[in-house]
């Protein structure tokens, strides 16, 4: 247990051992809340940063995105071609 003073501005220092143990680094954020009538200071976990590096890709993301976009473009072109051919068939049936 640690005993700390609070400044006039309401600031206090989180002991180094606790900061290290809970991953609170300079310029990081914490959540201050009340739990069961007590003040609690919790590390603010950023899910984006937590997930960073989880995916191991074999190629750069930009390359994968280009391929995905090219595949979508081809799919759209095929659909447009099918619609156009159906329209031509309908027009020729009316004549």
- The H or E element containing residue 83 is helix 61-94
Arithmetic mean of pLDDT over the chain = 86
Residues 41 and 14: beta-carbon distance below 8 Å: yes
- The H or E element containing residue 73 is helix 61-94
| Radius of gyration of the CA atoms of the chain, in A | 29
Residues 25 and 36: beta-carbon distance below 8 Å: no
Q: Rounded to whole angstroms, how far apart are CA atoms 84 and 70?
A: 21
Q: How confident is the model at residue 93 (pLDDT cuts 50, 70, 90)?
A: low
Predicted model pTM: 0.47
- The H or E element containing residue 30 is strand 30-35
pLDDT tens-digit readout, 60-86: 889 999 999 999 999 999 888 877 777
Which of residues 48 and 3 earns the better pLDDT score? 3
């Amino acid at each position: 247990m640690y005993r700390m003073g609070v400044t006039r501005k309401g600031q206090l220092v989180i002991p180094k051992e606790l900061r290290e143990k809970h991953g609170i680094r300079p310029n990081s954020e914490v959540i201050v809340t009340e739990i069961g009538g007590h003040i609690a200071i919790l590390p603010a976990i950023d899910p984006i940063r937590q997930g960073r590096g989880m995916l191991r890709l074999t190629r750069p993301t930009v390359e994968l995105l280009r391929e995905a976009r090219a595949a979508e473009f081809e799919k759209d072109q095929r659909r447009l071609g099918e619609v156009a051919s159906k329209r031509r068939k309908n027009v020729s049936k009316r004549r």
